């Protein structure tokens, strides 16, 4: 039996995608997200952007969001990763309701978040993570130790290449995050048992001709078969840009920020 839970939306997303412009035209994210570098003990470097709550209240802990960008935003400028998705976390109303620390690292050109043979049958996860994902994991732990982060409210989300990265990092570190929101990516169905306990809401466009929606369907079905209860939304009239309706759905983001390991 097919156990995928699908939410179908009939809004004319084709027109929405045409009208939406890059975030630089709306908010100057370069002023909101500070440019920084993480260098580990081996001398490996990961460029990243970070946004803190507008006011850090003494004694208060804040959720931490790891945002993983897509393949088109790779490079060394430490800016391209701001193109998609991060504007929603920086909006005034959202920051007031959900003050958080948001980190957005950038993958160098030619590299990837996930170490996954997704173009082969079975989408098998490799034993070792890619260097960018390894550094992203280290960065999360460093920020967690250096700032007033709520250890029970660590979230990860990513689109396209970052969607694969989201599945990769939660599979390798199944107890680190409180929830995950992967978009138009895919994971390793054979390892679904590792993350069956984790709140996950996955998104994909039914017309995606870049990343086949079957990759999301396969991992979601594997999670259900393993005893998990993931959420899955497949937009019937959307192609690869499924992150646009997903990140602009306030209900989805409110769900993400409501997840708390302490209440499990």
What are the pLDDT digits (tens) for 149-177? 999 999 999 999 999 999 999 999 999 99
Strand partners, 204: 234
User: How much of the chain is in helix, strand and coil states, percent to nearest 5?
Assistant: 35, 20, 45
103 CA to centre of own chain: 11
Q: Can you give the three-state secondary structure of 135-204, one letter per residue?
A: HHHHHHHHHHHHCCEEEEEEEEEEECHHHHHHHHHHHHCCCCCCEEEEECCCCCHHHHHHHCCCCEEEEE
The alpha-carbon radius of gyration of the chain (Å, integer) is 17
Main-chain phi, psi angles of 190, to 5 degrees: -70, -15
CB of 144 closer than 8 Å to CB of 151: yes
Would you state the pLDDT for residue 262? 80
Q: What is the dihedral of CA 10, 16, 22, 25, to 10 degrees?
A: -130
What are the pLDDT digits (tens) for 88-112? 999 999 999 999 999 999 999 999 9
Would you state the pLDDT for residue 117? 72
Would you state the pLDDT for residue 15? 31
Main-chain phi, psi angles of 44, to 5 degrees: -75, 140
Quote the CA–CA distance of 11 and 67 in Å, as a whole number. Answer: 26
Query: How do beta strands 34-39 and 45-51 pair?
Result: antiparallel
For each of the chain's 264 residues, which pLDDT tens digit applies?
344 444 433 333 333 333 334 443 457 999 999 999 999 999 999 999 999 999 999 999 999 999 999 999 999 999 999 999 999 999 999 999 999 999 999 999 999 999 977 655 556 788 899 999 999 999 999 999 999 999 999 999 999 999 999 999 999 999 999 999 999 999 999 999 999 999 999 999 999 999 999 999 999 999 999 999 999 999 999 999 999 999 999 999 999 999 999 865
Q: Quick one: which of 34, 24, 83, 62 has its CA closest to 244?
A: 83
**Domains, the chain, with CATH or none:** 13-263 (3.40.50.1820)
Q: Which two tokens stand for residue 23?
A: 């975030």
Strand partners, 62: 149
Would you state the pLDDT for residue 123? 63
Would you state the pLDDT for residue 122? 56
Strand partners, 35: 49
Would you state the pLDDT for residue 121? 56
Quote the CA–CA distance of 208 and 195 in Å, as a whole number. Answer: 25
Q: Residue 219 is inside which H or E element, if any? A: helix 214-225
Q: Which two tokens stand for residue 24?
A: 């630089």
Q: Which two tokens stand for residue 28?
A: 């100057």
Q: Residue 226 is inside which H or E element, if any? A: none
Q: What is the DSSP letter of 71?
A: G
């Amino acid at each position: 039996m097919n156990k995928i839970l699908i939410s179908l939306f009939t809004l004319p997303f084709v027109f929405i995608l045409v009208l939406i412009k890059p975030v630089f035209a709306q908010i100057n994210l370069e002023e909101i997200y500070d440019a920084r570098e993480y260098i580990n003990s081996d001398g490996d470097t990961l460029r990243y952007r970070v946004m803190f709550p507008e006011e850090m209240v003494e004694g208060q802990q804040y959720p931490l969001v790891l945002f993983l960008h897509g393949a088109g935003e790779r490079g060394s400028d430490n800016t391209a990763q701001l193109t998609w998705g991060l504007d929603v976390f920086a909006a005034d109303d959202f920051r007031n309701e959900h003050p958080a620390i948001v980190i957005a690292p950038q993958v160098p050109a030619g590299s990837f978040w996930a170490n996954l043979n997704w173009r082969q049958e079975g989408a098998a996860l490799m034993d070792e993570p890619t260097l960018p994902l390894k550094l992203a994991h280290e960065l999360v732990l460093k920020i967690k130790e250096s700032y007033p982060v709520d250890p029970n409210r660590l979230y990860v989300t990513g689109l396209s290449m970052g969607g694969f990265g989201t599945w990769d990092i939660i599979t390798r570190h199944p107890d680190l995050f409180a929830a995950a929101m992967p978009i138009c990516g895919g994971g390793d169905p054979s390892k679904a048992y590792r993350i069956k306990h984790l709140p996950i809401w996955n998104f994909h466009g039914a017309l995606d001709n870049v990343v086949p929606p079957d990759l999301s369907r396969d991992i979601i079905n594997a999670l259900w078969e393993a005893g998990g209860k993931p959420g899955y939304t497949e937009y019937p009239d959307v192609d690869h840009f499924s992150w646009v309706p997903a990140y602009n759905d306030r209900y989805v983001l409110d769900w993400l920020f409501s997840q708390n390991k302490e209440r499990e």
